Amino acid sequence: MIGKVEGIVDTLYNEYVQKYKAGGGKVVGYSCTFIPEEILHAAGVLPFRLRGIGIKSLSIGDSYFGPVNCSFPKCMVQLAGQGSYSFLDGAVITNGCDSMRRLYECWRKASEDHPGTLPPYFEYFSVPHKSVDYSIDFYEGELRNFIHSLEKHFEVEIQHKNIKEAVKLYNEGRMLLQKLDAVRYSEHTPISGEDAMAVLIAGHAMPRKQFNSILKKLITGLDQAQNVSDGKKRLLLVGSASDDLDFIRVIEEAGAVVVAETVCFGSRSYATLVDETGDPVRALASHYLKSSVCPRKLGYYKERRSYILDIVKKARIDGVVLQNIRFCDLHGSENGVLERDMEAAGIPCMRLEREYGPLVETGRIRMRIDAFIERIS
Task: Compute the distance between CA of residue 143 and CA of residue 139 in angstroms, rounded to an integer.
Answer: 6
What are the residue boundaries of the structural domains of the chain, listed by start? 1-377
Q: How confident is the model at residue 358, as a pLDDT? A: 62
Domain covering 1-377 in this structure, CATH number: 3.40.50.11900
Residue 38, pLDDT score: 98
- Which pLDDT score is estimated for 241? 85
pLDDT in tens, 270-317: 999 999 999 999 999 999 998 878 888 888 899 999 999 999 999 999
pLDDT of residue 36: 96
- State the pLDDT at residue 265: 84
Residues of the chain with pLDDT under 70: 1-4, 6, 357-360
Q: Give the burial string for 124-133 (b: 16+ CB within 10 Å, else e).
A: bbebbeebee
| Separation of alpha carbons 342 and 68, rounded Å | 28
Angle in degrees, 0-180, between the axes of helices 133-154 and 280-290, rounded to the nearest 10:
120
